[in-house]
């Protein structure tokens, strides 16, 4: 492993007030989102949509890296140019999702453990030869009165650490995503408690598996009350709870934290990221960025609707969200930006 190169890639992913675009929805997830909008759920429609994304002019001004899935990394533009090449030539670092999904965890009703370690060394080698420079793995943690269990947190944290070590062995930056799900009626305080425990466990395992923290990116949830919790704290309260939780649990050696959006509205995700950067900029040892899927893509998808004639308008909407989130990284996002498209 060339350590310097690994560290450089990790730093580049969170440099210049940019963030990441997660476009790594598995086929079932992508199909579900297409079905809701009446878009055909075919390989060709998924390819067309991903071509729209990777060819959006000016995207590299706000987006440092794009996460692809196995189907997409093998796809090409209509003119035959591989998507990986399109991204690289546009100055966007190509990445790949390498987990094979969260599966029901034996002995742990209601909980999931993420799989995909078995042939990972070979897959990482192949993806790296195809041009991917970072790799993502997502673990999901369910919260209610009795969950998560220690067993679930530990199994997922160990898998995350083993995947991260395999990535670094090949010079790929691991983007480590332990997601505390937003579903439920739990309070903000409960989310603080669970997120902190999960992150501490993950970093403990990363240490044990000899993962170099300078060559990784963390992709956590923001700390939020469950979607059905009657009390929904305001943007500043969420920002304070999130950053304080991260300050307690994430070592300063980590170059960057890039949040998932998790089902928040586009505007709230931008507002909350903005508040964190505004309120804590000088006190955070890491860059605080974004790695959103829905909170960047959703408006574009709703405009595109599978129609070629809507491509340019959809690209405009995608660019707009990318720019809003880049502004949020600088602490310069304002609600008025939403009317400036
Ligand atoms: C949590 O999902 C990740 C971030 O997306 P949001 O910003 O929409 O929350 C996302 O990268 C996710 O891991 C991928 O879309 C893959 O998900 P699936 O479930 O399709 O494998």
Q: Ligand 1, from 23, 24, 174, 220: best to mutate by most atoms within 8 Å of Cβ?
A: 24
Q: Measure the CA–CA gap between 251 and 304, rounded to whole angstroms.
A: 41
The per-residue pLDDT for 340 is 85
Cα angle: 316, vertex 320, 324; to 5 degrees: 175
Identify the residue whose C-alpha is closest to ligand 1 atom 5.
293
Q: How far is the CA of 294 from the centre of ligand 1 (A)?
A: 8
Which string of b and e fits 113-145 if b means at least 16 CB within 10 Å? bbebbeebeebbeebbeebbbbbbbbbbbbbee
Q: At the top level of CATH, which class does the domain 3-339 belong to? A: alpha beta
Tokens of 31: 């199909």
- Do residues 271 and 304 lie in contact, with contact meaning Cβ atoms separated by under 8 Å? no
Q: How far is the CA of 30 from the centre of ligand 1 (A)?
A: 10
**pLDDT values of the chain reduced to their tens digit, one per residue, 341 residues:** 699 999 999 999 999 999 999 999 999 999 999 999 999 999 999 999 999 999 999 999 999 999 999 999 999 999 999 999 999 999 999 999 999 999 999 999 999 999 999 999 999 999 999 999 999 999 999 999 999 999 999 999 999 999 999 999 999 999 999 999 999 999 999 999 999 999 999 999 999 999 999 999 999 999 999 999 999 999 999 999 999 999 999 999 999 999 999 999 999 999 999 999 999 999 999 999 999 999 999 999 999 999 999 999 999 999 999 999 999 999 999 999 999 87
Q: Measure the CA–CA gap between 338 and 92, rounded to whole angstroms.
A: 25
- Do residues 76 and 105 lie in contact, with contact meaning Cβ atoms separated by under 8 Å? no
- Do residues 108 and 115 lie in contact, with contact meaning Cβ atoms separated by under 8 Å? no
The per-residue pLDDT for 1 is 67
User: Whose CA is closest to 293, among 23, 45, 111, 28?
Assistant: 23
């Amino acid at each position: 492993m060339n350590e310097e190169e690994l560290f450089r890639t990790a730093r580049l992913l969170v440099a210049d007030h940019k963030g990441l675009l997660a476009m790594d929805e598995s086929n079932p997830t992508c199909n579900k989102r297409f079905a809701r909008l009446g878009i055909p759920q075919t390989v060709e429609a998924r390819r067309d949509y991903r071509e729209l994304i990777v060819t959006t002019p000016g995207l590299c001004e706000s987006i440092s890296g794009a996460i692809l899935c196995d189907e997409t990394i093998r796809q090409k533009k209509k003119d035959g140019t591989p998507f990986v090449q399109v991204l690289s030539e546009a100055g966007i670092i190509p990445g790949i999702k390498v987990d094979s999904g969260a599966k029901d965890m034996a002995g742990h009703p209601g909980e999931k453990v993420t799989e995909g370690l078995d042939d990972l060394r070979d897959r990482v080698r192949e993806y790296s030869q195809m041009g991917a420079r970072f790799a993502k793995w997502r673990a999901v943690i369910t919260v209610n009165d009795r969950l998560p269990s220690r067993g679930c947190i530990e199994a997922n944290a160990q898998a995350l650490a083993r995947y991260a070590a395999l990535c670094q062995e090949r010079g790929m930056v691991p983007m480590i995503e332990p997601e505390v799900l937003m579903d439920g009626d739990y309070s903000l305080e409960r989310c603080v408690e669970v997120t902190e425990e999960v992150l501490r466990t993950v970093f403990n395992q990363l240490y044990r598996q000899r993962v170099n923290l300078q060559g990784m990116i963390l992709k956590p949830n923001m700390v939020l009350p469950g979607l059905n919790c009657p009390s929904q704290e305001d943007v500043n309260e969420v920002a304070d709870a999130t950053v304080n939780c991260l300050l307690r649990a994430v070592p300063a050696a980590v170059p960057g934290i890039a949040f998932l959006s998790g089902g928040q509205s586009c505007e709230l995700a931008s507002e909350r990221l903005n508040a964190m950067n505004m309120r804590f900029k000088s006190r955070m040892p890491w860059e605080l960025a974004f790695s959103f899927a829905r909170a960047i893509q959703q408006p574009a998808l709703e405009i595109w609707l599978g129609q070629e004639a809507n491509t340019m308008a959809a690209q405009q909407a995608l660019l707009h969200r990318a720019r809003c989130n880049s502004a949020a990284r600088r602490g310069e996002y304002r609600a008025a930006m939403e009317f400036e498209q």
